Amino acid sequence: MRVRIGAALGVLAILSACGGGGGGGGSVTGGSPAPTPAPTATPTPTPTTTAGCSLRERQDWALAQLREWYLFPETLPANPNPAAFSNVDDYIDSLTATARAQRKDRYFTYLTSIKEENAYNSSGATAGFGTRFALDQTGRRLFVVESFEGAPALAAGIDRGTEILQIGTSTGTLRSVSAIVDAEGTAGLNTALGPDTPGTARAFQFRTIDGTTTTATVTKTDFALLPVSTRYGAKVLTDGSKKVGYINLRTFINSAETPLKDAFASFRAQGINEFIIDFRYNGGGLIRIADLMGDLLGGGKSTSQVFSYTSFRPEKAAENDVKYFAPIAQSVTPTKIAFIGTGRTASASELVINAFVPYLGNNMALIGTNTYGKPVGQIAQDRAACDDRFRIVALAVQNSARSAAYYDGLAATVPNTCQASDDISYPLGDNREQSVARALDFLAGRTCSRISASTGSSAQRETVRFDERTLLQPARPNTAQREVPGLF
């Protein structure tokens, strides 16, 4: 078995949701129910010629794993009918429907590819243009909120704040974004952007933040998504005479370890003790990296102090685990931390934020909008012959105070909050960007408006200030899209 949240079961994970989760799909955020996912152009493989991999065999295997490990076994149907479903994904969704109706499992339990997930978790390997897309409040304008280093979109001049005006398979077939949405809804944009396979080319007419309009053809390629940007992922901000350490962590994957350690070593050497941790788009990932983040921020903590508790259902209590702080050479000792979050901040990100509530109290704040709300994690059961990895909600996570009461997000749990929009007029990590500015305000003791726990944010929406609920996402996202919401 592979898991992603501690040592007892291998590689544990606390991931974003499938469809409507932390990386969510369409307009789903926070506590909102997720839409029923539709089939995609790249469904879970069904190699029926391989022994043990017929549809029925895979369905029966999935049910058996749920009955053994699911955190909410009482919600499973007593007599499911696999024959009513033509694929494994829809069958799994039917098995978890009751838990979903109770808002315990919002498509957090899903089937994925072993090969695809391993490649992503190791190095961020994926294929695409290398951007995050988001619709504005009208639902008819498409913006880029982030572009990734080493990927084709950034090389073509498409970066944060760029508006995509038209999309086509060639310059001769360009269609306006609004026309596509009017005719086919947001699903039409997913179709227009094409499959996430290397070599897929699309023509774009786009307008950059300086008002320049350009037409270019961009071809999807394989690239390694950097969890910490080389441009703005780790930097020192100045606010008056004070230095503040800023970290923007895109995703919790193994390749984040070295850049995180390097960044905190630099902060420590400079004597920095106030920090902004930017999780605004972070949909989750490996709990091993969440534990590392806790240790890096846990200077001064003893090895007897609890970072988090991991709990399985009663009959699996032998798998329960306690993670204690384990400071390392690069660890810092924060006096204040401002965490930036949105409705796409989920899972491992929320675990880290929640873990510091008992220790920092009023010296920490959530900046931006309310987070997604996912105090549970998945294990992974593999059926290697079929390339099936079944991510099953099997565990709950709590902080040292045994608190995990954030199914509705962390805005009501974190002692201080400051409402702010995600202002794509400015780069990430820029003092002028609204969320960063409000984070600096909190650290300096300046006043701010509290986040509404129910709605996430009531900040005025402007042309280039999108609401985080509109990050574009396929109905059934791939591994990278689950953990890097909005990725194409």
- Residues 251, 229 contacting (CB under 8 angstroms): no
Supply 431's token pair.
């003092």
Pairing of β 416-419 and β 364-368? parallel
- Residues 96, 75 contacting (CB under 8 angstroms): yes
- Beta partners for residue 248, in sequence order: 278
SS3 call for 321:
strand
CB neighbours (10 Å) of residue 68? Answer: 14
SS3 call for 62:
helix
pLDDT of residue 454: 59
pLDDT of residue 479: 87
Q: What is the CA radius of gyration of the chain?
A: 21
Closest by alpha carbon to 487, among 142, 256, 147? 147
Distance, in Å, from the CA atom of 478 to the CA atom of 196, rounded to the nearest integer, reads: 9
pLDDT of residue 452: 81
- Residues 75, 66 contacting (CB under 8 angstroms): no
pLDDT of residue 482: 84
Closest by alpha carbon to 389, among 62, 95, 133? 62
pLDDT of residue 470: 80
Distance, in Å, from the CA atom of 438 to the CA atom of 442, rounded to the nearest integer, reads: 6
Instruction: Show Cβ contacts of residue 50 under 8 Å, excluding neighbours closer than 6 positions.
Output: 385, 386
- Residues 87, 55 contacting (CB under 8 angstroms): yes
Q: C-alpha angle 250/152/196, rounded to 5°?
A: 75
Distance, in Å, from the CA atom of 412 to the CA atom of 87, rounded to the nearest integer, reads: 39
Print pLDDT tens along the chain (488 aa): 434 332 234 346 655 443 333 333 222 222 322 333 333 333 333 333 466 899 999 999 999 999 999 999 999 999 999 999 999 999 999 999 999 999 999 899 999 999 999 999 888 889 999 999 999 988 999 999 999 999 999 999 999 999 999 999 999 999 999 999 999 999 999 999 999 899 999 999 999 999 999 999 999 999 999 999 999 999 999 999 999 999 999 999 999 999 999 999 999 999 999 999 999 999 999 999 999 999 999 999 999 999 999 999 999 999 999 999 999 999 999 999 999 999 999 999 999 999 999 999 999 999 999 999 999 999 999 999 999 999 999 999 999 999 998 999 999 999 999 999 999 999 999 999 999 999 999 999 999 999 986 544 333 333 344 445 489 988 888 888 988 989 99
Supply 64's token pair.
């058996």
pLDDT of residue 152: 98
pLDDT of residue 6: 29
Distance, in Å, from the CA atom of 373 to the CA atom of 379, rounded to the nearest integer, reads: 18
φ/ψ region of 284 (left if φ > 0, alpha if ψ in -120 to 50, else beta) reads left
Q: Phi/psi of residue 351, each to 5°?
A: -60, -45
